[in-house]
Each structure stands twice: as structure tokens, then as C-alpha cells.
Amino acid sequence: MHLARFILPVALGTAPFMTHAEAVTYRIDPVHSQVVFNVDHNGFSRSFGRLRIANGTIVFDRDDWSKSSVDATIDLASVDMGDSGWDKAVRGSSLLDSDRAATARYISESVEKRNDDEGVVHGKLTLRGTTLPLDIPFRVNRIGKTIYGLHTVAGFSAQIILDRTAYGMTSNRNSIGTGVSVWLEIEGIRGGESADQNKETNRAAAQ
């Protein structure tokens, strides 16, 4: 009886420290992260392209999403439309203008939790020298060890629509749509852990 009186208060007092999560920093993995977009081509079809994330970090707190943040830089010169001529045109001054502004950057200002798996990042996107507010609804897919246990990964998905004219891309309105659909599939590797993708790829290939 006396022992129970001692153990119960101690257990209750230490429980929050045992279960409380902390904000964790993840480095965005450019190998397993995708920025894919598409835009209307004169009503005939939608042209797809891809951009590479040069670098970035995600801070995520499972218990308190308000302590989370995002800072990501996108390499505009990396645009891949599936055709070298089309790549060059999209990199040109009338569209991405990557010679003048080689990167775009998104920096969050706050993170809002909507439910257990979904939230919204409120922040600003700088593209072609123009900085505008941009809210990004997102989903937390999974946080855990990779199949071979090499590192801890946080995975997120998001989809947005950008008005290209708001960032100064006003040309070719008769042939290229103004609303650009963007998909984000992001994986971040927990800070301090190895990001050796070759080991994981080689092990998977050997199966």
C-alpha cells in the first residue's frame, strides 16, 4: 500500500517526459523529392515538367505543429519538360528567367494543423524576384525508419495551383495557360543521420 502511494505519483509525474515529442529537423532529400507541374497547352493537352529541389529543411513537431517550419530552394535551371528545346524556352526570360534568378525559395511563416494527418503551411514564395504569400495544404504520409533502417524519414504530399502571371510570366497567354498545377512529393532525412542513397538503392536492387 505504501509502495503504491509512492510509485503512482512518480509514474504520473514522469509520463509527460516519456511521451512528449520534440521538433525534429529533416534535410530535404533531392533524390526522393519531386516538384512536378503541368500547364494547359492551347487546350490540346497539359504539358508536364519537373524541377529539382536544390536544398532545404523541414522542422516538424508531431505534438505541436505550430513549432514546425519549412525552408526550401528550387533550382529553376533544372527544369525538365522532356524536350531540350522546350526546356530552353521555359528557362528563358519570358517564363522562369533562370539566367537572371537561378532559384526560387519558399519560407514558411507558420504551420496550421487541420487534423491528425493534414495541415497548411502559411509562407511566402520568391520567384523571378517577386515575393508573394502562398499557403500550401499538405498531408503527412509517414514518419519512420526506411525499410533497411538506414535513416529516419518524414514524407509529405501537397498540391497547389499558381498563377504564373502574378510572378511576371505574362507571355504566351494564347498558347500557355496561366494556372499552373504543382505537385510536391517530399521526403526529408532526419538531421545527423546518413543520407547514403546508394546503399539503400543497391540493397533494393539485390532483392
Confidence of residue 191 (pLDDT cuts 50, 70, 90): confident
Domain membership of residue 50 (yes or no) is yes
pLDDT at 13: 44
Helix, strand or coil, per DSSP, at residue 150: coil
- Write down the pTM of the prediction: 0.83
- In this prediction, residues 123-142 reach a mean pLDDT of 98
- CATH for 35: 2.40.128.110
Domain membership of residue 171 (yes or no) is yes
Strand 179-190 to 152-163 pairing: antiparallel
C-alpha distances (whole Å) from 115 to each of 55, 67, 112, 119, 139 are 28, 16, 9, 7, 10
Q: What is the pLDDT of residues 49-70, one digit of tens each?
A: 999 999 999 999 999 999 999 9
Domain membership of residue 175 (yes or no) is yes
Domain that holds residue 179: 21-206
Q: What is the pLDDT of residues 152-189, one digit of tens each?
A: 999 999 999 999 999 999 999 999 999 999 999 999 99
Task: Give CA 127 to chain center in angstroms.
Answer: 16
Total domains in the chain come to 1
In whole angstroms, give the CA distance from residue 75 to residue 72.
Answer: 10
Q: Which range, 8-12, 19-23, 119-123, 194-198, has the best average confidence (pLDDT)? A: 119-123
Confidence of residue 199 (pLDDT cuts 50, 70, 90): low
The strand pairing partners of 41, in sequence order, are 45, 176
Confidence of residue 205 (pLDDT cuts 50, 70, 90): very low
Q: Is the pLDDT of residue 198 over 90?
A: no
Domain membership of residue 39 (yes or no) is yes
Domain membership of residue 155 (yes or no) is yes
Domain membership of residue 13 (yes or no) is no
Q: Is the pLDDT of residue 190 over 80?
A: yes
Domain membership of residue 12 (yes or no) is no
Domain membership of residue 5 (yes or no) is no
pLDDT at 78: 98
- In this prediction, residues 136-144 reach a mean pLDDT of 97
pLDDT at 22: 87
Confidence of residue 200 (pLDDT cuts 50, 70, 90): low
Confidence of residue 4 (pLDDT cuts 50, 70, 90): very low
* φ, ψ (nearest 5 deg) of residue 7: -70, -45
